[in-house]
Structure 1
Amino acid sequence: MAINDDRTDTNFIVGGYDFLSELDAQKASLDLSKIKVLEERVKASRPKDIKAVYEKAIENKIFKSPIGWEYLARLRDRLYASGFSEEELIPIPIPVSLTRHSAFENLSVQQRIRPVTKDNKAEFKRLFPYILNIFLLIIVIAMFIIASTSDSDNILNYKRNVTNRYSSWEQDLTQREKVIREKEKKLGIDSSEGYYGGANND
């Protein structure tokens, strides 16, 4: 009878262990291949060499699964059989908690109840596009205002500036012609033609 009937379609069995995830199964497979390499070196080794391999494997945290830890336990048994005492051997560390919620149960009530904190980064990421769009819209509006009120000619105010310039010139010419006619009257020059009318009669 299977322990977990829910996972019949995806079983991750390696070395007689049924793992909960594919990643754990891959770690176990890797441990199996490491064990094969070490077995070739340790088989005919002296107890001191076996101890060195055992200690290096623990110090370098070579094994990441129960398969590797079981191998370390077998090495430990061989070392006991060779005459080493428990005090002379490093204990095998188990880097995972085997009891569920043990850390949670040890916490006080205040530590268990955590206030809901707002995730400011997520809030900023959500609002950033809106802020950026508003900023860009303000810049575009400011550019249109500057372009339309500017004295230099551009595509927005070209017609108005040219019209204003010509009307200013026309007004200036009319003013000058008026002054000239007044001077002619003072000097007694009376011309019924326009200002440039008789210039080519000579």
Structure 2
Amino acid sequence: MASNKENKDKFIVGGYEFLTETDAEKGTLDLSKIKVLETKVKVSRPDDMLAVYEKAIQNRIFKTPLGWRYLTDLREKLLASGFEEQDLIPIPLEIPMTRQSSLDKLSSKKKESPSGEKVHFGRILSIVLNVALIIVVILMFVIASTSENDNIINYKRNITNRYSAWDEELKEREKAVREAEKRLGITDSKGYDEGDVSY
């Protein structure tokens, strides 16, 4: 009964014992991919085998030793069919084969993480500051162009508007003065600036 429980805790797929259930599921997935490929690939055609071999490696289809074993078998068949070693892509292994002690891992993480974080943080900070400065400059131009105070962006428009307002006001006052003069019966041939001024 104890051996039955031990077998349940072990994750065995295709003759390999995996440490976790997730790894065992990846192994099962690799087995199903192998079955599909075996139905589609004809061993009598080396070019078909080469195409499958190269696509499987380039797309990193296999994630477990089950898939790598299949690629190794394909590689051996390709070599037997006349391909040279240099004609074939090497099979990449995605896991390290040497174990590191926990202290080695910890010290390597300490060495890598601060500098990596500083570079990463520095880039993000630089990007954020650049975006903020661009927004501030745009806001300054918007405020300067819509402001009623004279500045280099809107001085011509503001002065033209002020002059036209003064001109309009002067014309209205002159018209009011002329009407008042008519009512009072004052008719003077002199202009406003030519009159007697006594100080």
TM-score (norm 1): 0.48
TM-score (norm 2): 0.48
More helix by share: 2
